[in-house]
Amino acid sequence: MSRYGRYGGETKVYVGNLGTGAGKGELERAFSYYGPLRTVWIARNPPGFAFVEFEDPRDAEDAVRGLDGKVICGSRVRVELSTGMPRRSRFDRPPARRPFDPNDR
């Protein structure tokens, strides 16, 4: 099924700054307050983040507004709509330019 709900908005939410002891049940309790969930996935290697997918994009937006900066699983978390784009690694960046040297002429 698509990451986008019936209304065309993003249904997947990124949860960052999670503690290493974060549990699926705790996240489900916190996020299901805003609407029915499709999935909850917690990263284990490296730990510290999760993705929560809602059935309706409006619920995902409500969860972002309601939970960003709140304490969940013992940590103050960052909650934002997932962009679907992987983060750039340091290897994806263009090479750094050398500083100007007048002797290079």
Q: What is the pLDDT along the chain (105 residues), one digit of tens a residue?
A: 444 444 447 999 999 999 988 999 999 999 999 999 999 999 999 999 999 999 999 999 999 999 999 999 999 999 999 987 655 544 455 656 666 667 776
- The answer as to whether 68 is a domain residue is yes
- Per-residue b or e along 20-59, where b marks 16 or more CB atoms closer than 10 Å to that residue's CB: eebeeebbeebbeebbebeebebeeeeebbbbbbbebbeb
pLDDT at 2: 47
CATH classification at residue 57? 3.30.70.330
Identify whether 50 is part of a domain: yes
* Domains contained in the chain, number: 1
Q: What is the pTM of this model?
A: 0.73
In a domain, 93, yes or no: no
Has residue 30 been placed in a domain? yes
Dist CA 77 CA 64 (whole Å): 11
The whole domain housing 52 covers: 12-81
Residue 92: per-residue pLDDT = 54
99 within domain boundaries: no
What pLDDT does residue 7 have? 44
